[in-house]
Amino acid sequence: MEMEHRTSHNPCLPKRIILVRHGESQGNLDDTAYTTTPDSQIPLTTHGIDQARLSGQRICRLVSDDGCSQNWKVYFYVSPYHRTRSTLREIGRAFPKNRIIGVREECRIREQDFGNFQVEERMRAIKVARERFGRFFFRFPDGESAADVFDRLSSFLESLWRDIDMKRLLRHSECDDEINLIIVSHGLTLRVFLMKWFKWTVDQFEHLNNPDNCEFLVIQLGCGGEYSLAINHSEEELLRLGLSPEMIADQKWRAKANKGDWNENCFWYLDGFFDHLPSSDSDDISENNVTHDQDAEKENNVPVDASAEY
């Protein structure tokens, strides 16, 4: 069940959900690292540690409104991988302990599983095949597809909204506190998260790009109750992420829309699945009558084949 249907009764919605990609890792610099080190144990580089500290400072300034907000709190979710845990550790240096509601290691937001130890030449050939097959449905041998990641993220989101509905994330906080959920994860996992959250199609996912290392994406609650990327991100940033002009227009609409409103210009919610839909029952009847009349006229005007008489 999606957010807008589940939480109309719940005043304790998070103000922001902030998606953070881990800092630069040894695997980002050198693909051969995966041949000898399990993916889950790949460490950050020195630069990646610096990126994470800077990212923490920037996130803290955002959620505290540069120190102007007095009632903000954060709750962290983190992938169990070494590079995400290390990223969180450095991000956390920017936050006073009294502002942190809690933290949870969450296996369902881990990296896409590419198999076990990765042989460099074999992986290069497999990734070429993935581009031909399509990034969403291609499953790595002994690993996962992005579709598999989608399934476990769907389960995670169900748990997330159950925690919100039951106020498990509040702890000693009040509903009038500004709650910020910060999810420290991986590039593809965050792209799939966005796809699931905003109901994007597989084709739209195929055009998305990873955020940079330690770049963060802010999904913020708009004035009308819908969540949007457009509140904190410019059109240029969203284009770089891979959103189409139509997807960006929908994000801008969401920033001001009332919860439960329907965006008539959002073709992938309805019109993208059909060649033509009548706008009402009466239009459907009229169209059928026109079609019937045209068929009848054709039958009445069919020339008679004289040879048919014999």
Instruction: Identify the CATH class of 3-221.
Output: alpha beta
Assess contact for 76 and 102: CB atoms under 8 A: yes
Check whether 215 has a pLDDT greater than 80. Answer: yes
Q: Rg of the Cα trace of the chain? A: 25
Residue 150, CB-side half-sphere exposure with 13 Å CA sphere:
19
**Per-residue pLDDT at 268:** 78
Structural domain boundaries in the chain:
3-221
Q: Let me know: does 39 contact 33? Beta carbons within 8 Å.
A: no
Mean pLDDT of 60-86: 96
Distance CA 279, CA 267 (A): 14
For residue 208, which amino acid is it? L
What's residue 173's pLDDT? 60
pLDDT of residue 162: 92
Mean pLDDT for the chain? Answer: 88
The catalytic site residues sit at 22, 111
Residue 256, pLDDT above cutoff 90: yes
Per-residue pLDDT band at 119 (split at 50, 70, 90)? confident
Q: How far is CA 291 from the centre of its chain?
A: 43
pLDDT at 307: 42
- Among the listed residues 219, 188, 215, 237, the one whose alpha carbon sits nearest the alpha carbon of residue 23: 215
Query: 158-214: per-residue pLDDT in tens?
Result: 999 998 888 888 766 667 689 999 999 999 999 999 999 999 999 999 999 999 999
Q: Which residues of 225-244 are buried (b: 16+ CB within 10 A; e: fewer)?
A: bbbbbbbbbeeebbeebbbe
